[in-house]
Structure 1
Amino acid sequence: MTSELLLAYVLFCFATAGTPGPNNMMLLASGANFGFRRTVLHMAGVSCGMGFMVLCMGLGLGGVFKAFPVLHEILRWAGAAYMLWLAWKIGTATKVSDGRVGAKPMTFFQAVAFQWVNPKAWAMALGAVTTYAPEGGAWTVIPLLAAIFTVVGAPCNAAWAGFGQGMRPFLDRPAVLRTFNVVMAVLLVISLYPMMIEHGKAPPLTARALAVDAPAIVVTPWRG
């Protein structure tokens, strides 16, 4: 993997992990409702979950979904339904948590599992593999790509949760918090729209879908 391609991949990771999407909307809401410290496991789960997904896609899982498209359809709609439920939970939250109430932030393993029902995560992982992994070099390059995605994603996740933490002093009024949570819920639902619309216009889970959620990055694909 050349240094130019490595730099392009790092920029790709920053652009996709840092731009608005389901993960970042949830991290923002979690930081605001639970605080940065209680959101750390959520952040770690997102980063590790994305890295693990890149690893799995690069080592053959993407071929399974290509051979059986119905599996992708099931996950796509199940993921959309789950995120609508999460949006409802966020939108109906009524008070900032101080750790003594029943509400809890997402755990590490919940955040890891969430990546598998997140349409943007699927597009990001497959885009990373199909664009940056050289043919015949999967066993050496794919783990590197997965590790880079995990490392680069961590500060992006922390930034969104930190922004939410910074908003906590302004959310002590019930009406303000309720408005904030409703806005976060709406944005989470809106983040689903591009991926759902993209279906039918192009084959599912292609790098082309990334253009919906992230700034365009012009790269020269590896030719082996």
Structure 2
Amino acid sequence: MQWIPFLLYVLVTSFTPGPNNIMSMAYASKSGYRNTLRFILGVAVGTTVIALLSSFFNLLLFSFIPKVKMWMSIFGGLYMVYLAMKMLMHKPRANEDQHEKLNSFISGLILQFINPKVILYAITANSTFIIPYYHSTVSLILFSCFLGFIGYASTSSWAVFGAIFQSFLRKYERAFHLVMGLLLLYSAIIIFLG
């Protein structure tokens, strides 16, 4: 397994701004970390379920259609290039509207099933990094739990450091997106060369 590109992909994708992190930060800035914990746990459980479903779906595809492995790796690499380009082309926005949602476990859980970032994250991580090397049910469950834990860690850190991240991102937003985009490009290049 290509551990460095896998970890870079997982960390960059999880810790960059997205619906989970932004909502977690907004909830924590209004009602504190403790009251946001139920939303964060919903995100973690939802991410784990999406990762599990994705891993078994990908394993099923690989079992029945062995040639799909190459195409899934290409898709995963291209998706990482797409994410990198979005990061590199990102233009700072003065005031982003944040939709008010319920700060609850259920809303955190349900959000994962309509959040394209999480769905593509799980599909890409599984098809590109995990399924080509691991096939046992135990390993797929462990990797899915790991992806869910990273989801918990990212939304939790955004909640804890919400105010700090808000000011940091506003001040150094362009540099942050440049570094994250370059890390994603590196991961995609490793996939294409590997």
Give me the TM-score of the superposition, normalised by structure 1. 0.53
Match of 2:149 in 1: 151
Give me the whole-angstrom Cα distance separating, in 1, the residues matched to 2:17 and 2:41.
18
Partner of 1:124: 121
Name the structure with the higher helix share: 2
Alignment of 1:52-63 (within 5 A): 52-60=49-57
Partner of 2:191: 220
Is the contact between residue 58 and residue 127 of structure 2 (CA under 8 Å) also seen in structure 1?
no
Contact 2:48–2:144 (CA under 8 A) maintained in structure 1: yes
Whole-angstrom CA distance in 2 between matches of 1:106 and 1:162:
15
Q: 2:140 — aligned with what?
A: 142
* Alignment partners' CA distance in 2, 1:61 and 1:42: 28
1:28 CA displacement:
1.1
User: Across the two proteins, how many residue pairs are aligned to each other?
Assistant: 142
What runs of 5+ residues in structure 2 fail to find an aligned partner? 62-96, 171-179
Provide the C-alpha distance between the structure 2 equivalents of 1:8 and 1:153, rounded to a whole number of angstroms.
Answer: 18
Letter in 1 for 2:100: K
Q: Which runs of 5+ in 1 are unaligned?
A: 65-85, 91-104, 168-182, 184-210
Matching residue of 1:18? 15
Amino acid at match of 1:113: I
Q: Deviations over 1:125-183 (max 9, x none)?
A: 1111111123471524321220111222222211110123669xxxxxxxxxxxxxxx9
Match among 74, 83, 100 for residue 89 of structure 1: 100
Offset, 1:50: 0.9
If you compute each CA radius of gyration, which structure gives the higher value, 1 or 2? Answer: 1
1:163 aligned partner, one-letter code: F
Q: Per-residue deviation at 1:7?
A: 4.3
Residue identity opposite 1:161 in structure 2: A
- Give 3-state SS (helix, strand or coil) of 2:184's partner: coil
SS at match of 1:106: coil
- The 3 A distance-change label for structure 1 pair 12 and 88 is closer
Contact 1:14-1:153 within 8 A present in 2 as well: no
> What amino acid is aligned across from residue 160 of structure 2 in structure 1?
G
Greater relative CO (CA pairs within 8 A, separation 6+): 2
Q: Mapping of 1:104-115 within 5 angstroms?
A: 105-115=102-112
One-letter amino acid matched to 1:157: T
RMSD: 3.4
Deviations 1:26-46 (A, max 9, x none): 111111111111001111111
